[in-house]
Structure 1
């Protein structure tokens, strides 16, 4: 049985139109028709009935469709497996990671890990912290790196490290050395506080700010990199983990605000796993070595 016939059948079934299938497959419409007829001859049954200019699956076609998908999936898996072996990969480590960690520490960790474990293919799924435990629990990832603690039954959750938070404001146009220090009270009266770009600490901070300063203007921005962009454009200020703004502070694109009026908590990074294998243990060991 020709695999091309199977692929043509799946596309034709999806669009229920031979002309559309020919466009998607970059084939002529007569070629699509020939593929279907050859497959029907091989199986000994009709797979489609005509309905005006369109086509519909017959009962036999509906029964055969999932098997056709399985054949293509099996072929793809086999090709991918051989390609991995050709590239020298014999094992796979899939990591579900929050956007914040993915854009800060993770590239360095992976770089150091694969220098030693060259036979391990690392696959990275970037998902929000509140979804990482589910990814690990369902087996979609071997390891989770999250900014949110997980209490999901059957999973282990370990705090890897903590880092300080910084109050970050736009550059005011002055030379950094001669610029007057920014004060929290003046910021709150003149700027919008960009909140909820981290899953854990904002409720605590907002409660303390409201207790001390009363009503404040806030705007929720769910991603740290978007928050930073807002601040760089001169709109609003925020409270962010130091790892996310270290470069911008060093380059003078953002300013740090110092205050003794509120006590800032720390931001934590958690490791979430369900099972143990050598690849997971080796990667965790490398992270702990680099922290």
Structure 2
């Protein structure tokens, strides 16, 4: 009797020689996977931009930029000012105790002035002023002929401005000095006719205001208004011949001129350094 162990040996050897299906299937699966990786690339999650779809940035305009607005001209203030004024002078006659015959016929006339100023700052200037006025004189007494009247002021002037820059230049001013107002007429005398001058003089105050307009960097033009008051305590009556024959007359006898109003146009020249 053959032992069972010996009978199992041929069966084990035959089984070892047979091909196993699982190994063949695994090898075949590996070959298929390698072939698929080699022939089919993995698709990207997005496509590259080819100039289609979303538009790129807008092209800049080639049109030229608009020209800048012209700058407003600068009208600077300068350190020296020379002011010429020309206009109308209107005198005032103060009546005396008995009458105002000395100046009742005096009316408006021409006024002319010159002012030189040093502008210390853009807001303040000071200097000197000379004003001369000639008035019409038509006395009520027909015996008085060749009648004239006039006024003069000379003094220091301070002026305050309200604009540091710009085209317009408003201002106020005050002057302190001396003034004189007087009349002149021919009168009948025992020897014929003689000319007499009657003048009242004294300390004076001048106040005014104005508005200048810059025509250029060195020239201004504008209207002005001023009042000059002369404090007269007596009238000096002299012969017009210049002989020195004079006498003092009270202001109560026939009245006297004591002030005048000026309405003028100012022409101002600016010089010196800019402020």
* TM norm structure 1: 0.17
Higher helix share: 1
Higher strand share: 2
- Radius of gyration: which is bigger? 2
* TM norm structure 2: 0.18
